[in-house]
Structure 1
């Protein structure tokens, strides 16, 4: 769907959500956009980058933003196209919220009036708010990690906790990769348009870059902590497994004693002690228990029962 969102003095903003073939045809025939640049803008898997077509007067910015899938947080690209003195934004269902954010960036940056603002400055003031969502998500992931970490000392570790940690690690990988790519793209955008932009526009780009850099630092630290907790969880699990195997080994040694004693008395060999008396059965049990106790004592003295 193509929506004419707002008419500014210096440009018109069109938002394209979940583009259909008819929308594509409209953009090509009525808005004079090229199929190539449209394809880049709506590609779900497009890499973060800048794409220029000087002949067609088109400059495409592909940038990653947070996408929400129920309880899972990932990142998806959106397309921001500057063409023919107009602005086009391209999104899908999971990123369609960007239209509302661009319209109302919560006053995180001072925005010029509709008569004065340029397309670049409009996008940068909106991107600042979009990039702050990375900080919010990293903070939320840290909160979830602390909850899982607090459970280690109070209850038995479960597969669910390990799966939760793995899910957090996966989300952080998406966030780290997107932030790094966004930072590189913003650097390239500033370098390419440095001579064409005013000082306040460059300042707003720098503000977005600083916000991305801060989010990168937070994401790296959060990932390091999550990896440390995951490694500690694995070490504790390995220790418990080793203890279990150790106990099973000790019991297998102790339980070997009854087999040895009963084996001797079951061979019908003459002259075995107490083999011919009526209470011989009970004597063999006593001998077995004494030998098992002796073996257990020797193993205990040698530290086999210490965890």
Structure 2
């Protein structure tokens, strides 16, 4: 169990310069990490599962290089902790980023938000991509079996035929045929913060990679309504094939979260239901 006592021990032993700072767990931290606020300026992030291993080192290496070129704030890692005290993986200390999590109710119909997010992705894609992370661009086809299984599992809740049509269109869309570009890799509503009524920050770059940017179309289906979604797509000049693959990523991600968490978390059930239905709507 990753509790506050463990985090306190890890921080105090490995980073004694921060041993006197108060530590407070952040309750709604997502499914990949346990997050604590350390003093007023820092955050401690510990992976919850094996799928999040390696994120600390990757973010520490790359985010300081990307940050100066991006129009929204992103995390600035300041240290990577070692496995210890029975905790098995590297973990990170980053600068604390203020703000409230973005919601569909507040931002989903905002054209300004759609343009902000498109501008962020445009800037990210214009930074020369690293071949070191090109392998992070996994293919939709790798999700085929699990996605079809999830479609069968939710057939009593959603229109399975419609889900299958979207999924098969994504699989049959031509692949990305241009040079690799940076993608965030987990670009959805929960990874945005807002201040002063505007999106201010993009967080959680564990999926950062170089290749096909279709993954980052997920934001269009997790946050934006139909009109700002069209604005987002137009501002990015997304072609039909990339949009189809993006719908596939949104559908696969939504289905995976729905079958994993909807039965035990009403908030996740509502969010993923919207994601699935918006991916079908296009």
- Normalised by the size of structure 1, how large is the TM-score? 0.26
More helix by share: 1
- Normalised by the size of structure 2, how large is the TM-score? 0.28
Structure of higher RCO (CA pairs closer than 8 Å, 6+ residues apart): 2
